[in-house]
Amino acid sequence: MKLRATILLILIPLLVYTQQTKEPAFHIWDKGYCNFTSFGYLIGSGQDEKTFVPSLQMEHNYRFNKNFAFGLYTGADCLDITVATIGPHLKIFFPHSNNKTSLFIGSAIGGSLVLKDKKIEHVEITDTGGGRFANIEIGISIRDKSKIGFFVASGYRHQQISYTLKDSRVNSINKAITYNRFVLKFGIRI
C-alpha cells in the first residue's frame, strides 16, 4: 500500500504538469489602441535663444496590424513661446523575430497653437499665431510580456510660428519664425 501511495504521489505532479496549457505565442503588438507618451528635447540652434528645448508628446494611435498604426499626434514644446502641436500621425513598425523589440519610423504633420503671446522688447506684438509643423523620427520599442513597453527615438522637427507687429510707419507687419531641430526622446508605450 505504501508503495502504491508513493508512486501515485510521484505521478500526480507529472500528470498535472503535462495537462497544463501552454501560453499562446507572445506578440509585441496588439490590434487596437496604442499610446506612445514621450519626453525629450529639441536640440539645435534656430531663430530663438534656446539650444535645448523640452518637449512633451503623446501619440494616440490605432494599430491595424503588426506593421501599421495611424492616429493623432499632440504635445507641447517650450520654444521662445510654448506651442501646442496637433496633427495626424503615421507609424510603421518592423518587429524583430524575438517578439520583444520593434524598430519603427514615424511621421506627423499638422498645426500648432500658441499658448502665450510672443514678447519682444520695444516692439508691440498685436497677435501671435500658430503655424505648421512636420516631424519624422526613427526609433526602437522594447517590451516584455506586460502591456507597457519603453521606446527611444530620434528625428527631425520643423516648426513655424507667425506673429503680427504693429509699426508706427506701417499698420502691421506679418513675421514668421522657423525652428529646425534635432529630436531626441524617450518614453513609454501602452
SS3 170: coil
Does residue 46 have a pLDDT over 70?
Answer: no
| pLDDT given at position 93 | 93
Does residue 159 have a pLDDT over 80?
Answer: yes
Query: How do the domains of the chain map onto residue ranges?
Result: 25-189
Q: Measured between alpha carbons, how far is 119 from 84 in angstroms, rounded to an integer? A: 18
Residue 139 backbone dihedrals phi, psi, to 5 degrees: -165, -175
Does residue 96 have a pLDDT over 90?
Answer: no
Burial 53-66 (b: 16+ CB within 10 A, else e): bebebbbebebeeb
Does residue 27 have a pLDDT over 60?
Answer: no
User: If we measure between CA atoms, which residue out of 39, 36, 117, 34 comes closest to residue 76?
Assistant: 39
Classify domain 25-189 by CATH architecture: Beta Barrel (2.40)
Q: Measured between alpha carbons, how far is 89 from 135 in angstroms, rounded to an integer? A: 9
Q: ∠ at Cα 85 (42, 74), nearest 5°? A: 100
Q: Which three cell numbers stand for residue 61?
A: 494611435
Lowest mean pLDDT: which of 16-30, 81-95, 110-124, 160-174? 16-30
